[in-house]
Amino acid sequence: MKYLAMIYGNQAKWDAVPAEEWPAIIAEQEAYLARYRETGELVGAYGLADAAQAKLVRREGGEPVVTDGPYLETKEYMASFYLFECETEERALRIVSEMPIAGQDPVEVWPVPHESPERGCDRGRQAG
């Protein structure tokens, strides 16, 4: 089963971290990610741009309409997300609890019970 882990934050929060602390924070996070890449349980890890760079896309009258900004006005937004594949929910929750930021802020975890068939989504391989 796959599990999505989401970290929320905002630019003010990131700006409050002294610049000299970032290398250690990044190194700790990279070590965590490497550990679970090696076990095969980490499927992917992605950091998102600031919410000011987000776009909303909808279709009106058959044409795309793009506007600036996230859909919801919130103090925090999804800053990064991780996809894990684990044998059990307990294992997924254990792995996420070891995430460095989990010692300071909660990390939201969602089961991913449905997945599009690989054949339709895999752009890297030729159909055979």
Distance, CA of 103 to CA of 6 (rounded, Å) = 14
Q: How many C-beta neighbours within 10 Å does residue 128 have?
A: 4
Tell me which residue of 46, 105, 124, 113 sits closest to 85, measured CA to CA.
Answer: 113
pLDDT tens figures, 79-109: 999 999 999 999 999 999 999 999 999 999 9
Q: Which of 82, 86, 109 is nearest to 1 (CA)?
A: 86
Taking the model in full, what pTM does it have? 0.81
Tokens of 16: 């409050």
Q: What is the per-residue pLDDT across 40-70, written as a single tens digit (0 to 9) for each?
A: 999 999 999 888 888 989 999 999 999 987 6
- Distance (Å, rounded) from C-alpha 58 to C-alpha 76? 23
Q: Reduced to 3 states, what is the DSSP secondary structure of residue 59?
A: strand
- What is the C-alpha to C-alpha distance for residues 5 and 127, in angstroms, rounded to an integer? 31
Domains in the chain: ranges and CATH = 2-112 (3.30.70.1060)
